[in-house]
Structure formats: C-alpha cells, structure tokens
C-alpha cells in the first residue's frame, strides 16, 4: 500500500504543494453581446431549462443552457488550420484536401497543444507610458525588443509571448474595441518576424486580431497571421485581458492554457492563466 506520508518525487507537484501560488487571469469571461469580429459568428448563451420548469418527485430541480459560438470569439486560440496562403496551410498541407468533409483532417483545433510553458509579458503600453496605445498604432520589432529589455527577459524556443496594448480597457465599447473605423494597435510584419525568430510556440495580445489593424482597413488583409500560423506554425491567442497581469508587474511566469479538443475545428475558446509562485 502506498504510504500517504511519502514525499512526492515529481518536481512540479513538489513546487505546487510546497509554496504559495497566485493565479492571474489572462482572459475575458464569455458572455452574450461581447465584442466579436465581423468575420465570425458571435457568442450566445441562454437557459433552456430553468429551476421549476420540471420538479422531480423529491423536490429537486435542475437548470441547463444552450451555447452557440464561433471558435474565434472571446478569449481563444487559433489552430494552424485557421489561415492558408495560396491554398496551403502550415507545412505545405493542401487546405482544400484537409477541409474535406466539413472538418479539418490535419492541423485542427484538436491538435492545439495543452500549454504549460514559460510565459513572458511585453507591456508595450507601459513602455510608452500610456494606459493604452492609440487606435491603429503599429507595434514594431524595436518596441518588442525595448519592452523585453525593460522587463529583463528574452524570448526563447518554446515560450509564450503576450503583448499588452492596453486595448482590453475598451472591451465594453465594441465599436471602439473592434476598430473597424479607427483601427487597432498590434504587431506589424517586422514585429511578427522578430517573434518568430525566437522560436516561440504561441503569441497573444489583448485585441481582436492580434496584429496591427490600420484605420479604415478592418480585417481586409492579415499578413501577421500568415507569418505566424502558415509560415512558422505559431499559435495566436486573441482577446486577452492583460490588465491584471500588468498591475501585478508580471514579466516572466508559468503560462497555462487548455484548449478544447474540437475535432477538425479552426480555433478554441480558452481560459489562460499565469501562475506565479510567491
């Protein structure tokens, strides 16, 4: 019989049980009416059975709901099947062949990895001394390097890099947040190449499309998605809320993300967190 008092030999479990952890939420709650890109169906949740609609003989009752949502609504992660270029997905996979039958046979959301990785926060808003960047402001490779230097960190292979623009504070104002008229801040093409050169596994931001959206352009072209997803196989995390992470002064932390294993999908809702040992 296993002795319950025997100390564990698992280093991670020992760290968890032997110290105090603080969990910092990195995403938004999902709710009906939250901002959604015009390219995707929005999130809807409603109760289809309420307490009292049916009461069991012993007085018990239950309630349940129906949820309808696109895979790229609210805080979510993109699968590598989400974007193609000239008919090809990451690794030269033919997009038309892969999507036959109404779901992706390759690179689908069920293949997005569970992530327990080193996470880095590059706080670009703080770097510029503002609560939020301007609408349509491009984040350059120099911005990312300067933010990394200020935080005393450097992205390396397998990391997850989160970029704070401060845009999450506009989440309650869908028109401004989505930026169809005025644009949205985010990494430009050279910033994307800077990220990819580090060999990271995923990158995320507190905006609807991760990348720089110039005024009046909407989501007409998304070159950063091509660089990250198609050319480099780097997952993109969108609609993050990095305000608490910034207030906590996070720079380097344990990043945890568990996507739903949606067979053949192109993205998945997530609840990402930063775990910090105090």
Q: What is the pTM of this model?
A: 0.93
Share of the chain above pLDDT 70, in %: 97
SS3 content of the chain, % helix, strand, coil (to 5): 25, 25, 50
Q: How confident is the model at residue 9 (pLDDT cuts 50, 70, 90)?
A: confident
> Residues 143-148: what's their mean pLDDT?
98
Q: Check residue 6 and give its pLDDT.
A: 53
Confidence grade of residue 10 (pLDDT, cut at 50, 70, 90)? confident
Evaluate whether 78 touches 72 at the Cβ level (below 8 Å).
yes
Per-residue pLDDT tens digits for 84-134: 999 999 999 999 999 999 999 999 999 999 999 999 999 999 999 999 999
pLDDT confidence of 8, banded at 50, 70, 90? low
Plot region of 86 (φ>0 → left; ψ -120 to 50 → alpha; else → beta):
left
Handedness of CA 29, 171, 212, 43 (dihedral sign): positive
């Amino acid at each position: 019989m296993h002795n319950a008092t025997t100390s564990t030999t698992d280093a991670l479990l020992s760290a968890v049980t032997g110290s105090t952890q603080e969990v910092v939420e990195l995403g938004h709650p999902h709710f009906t009416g939250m901002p959604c890109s015009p390219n995707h169906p929005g999130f809807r949740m409603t109760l289809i059975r309420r307490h009292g609609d049916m009461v069991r003989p012993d007085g018990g009752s239950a309630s349940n709901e129906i949820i309808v949502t696109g895979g790229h609504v609210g805080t979510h992660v993109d699968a590598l099947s989400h974007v193609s270029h000239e008919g090809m997905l990451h690794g030269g996979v033919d997009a038309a062949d892969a999507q036959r039958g109404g779901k992706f046979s390759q690179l689908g959301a069920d293949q997005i990895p569970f992530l327990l990785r080193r996470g880095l926060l590059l706080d670009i808003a703080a770097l510029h001394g503002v609560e939020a960047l301007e609408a349509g402001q491009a984040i350059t490779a120099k911005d990312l390097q300067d933010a990394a230097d200020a935080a005393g960190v450097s992205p390396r292979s397998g990391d997850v890099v989160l970029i704070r623009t401060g845009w999450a504070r506009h989440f309650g104002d869908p028109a401004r947040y989505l930026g169809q008229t005025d644009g949205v801040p985010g990494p430009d093409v050279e910033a994307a190449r800077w990220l990819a050169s580090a060999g990271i596994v995923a990158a995320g931001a507190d905006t609807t499309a991760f990348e720089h959206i110039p005024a009046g352009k909407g989501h007409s072209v998304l070159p950063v998605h091509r660089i990250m997803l198609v050319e480099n196989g780097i997952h993109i995390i969108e609609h993050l809320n990095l305000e608490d992470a910034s207030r906590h002064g996070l720079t380097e932390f344990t990043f945890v993300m568990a996507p739903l294993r949606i067979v053949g999908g192109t993205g998945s809702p997530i609840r990402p967190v930063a775990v910090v040992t105090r």
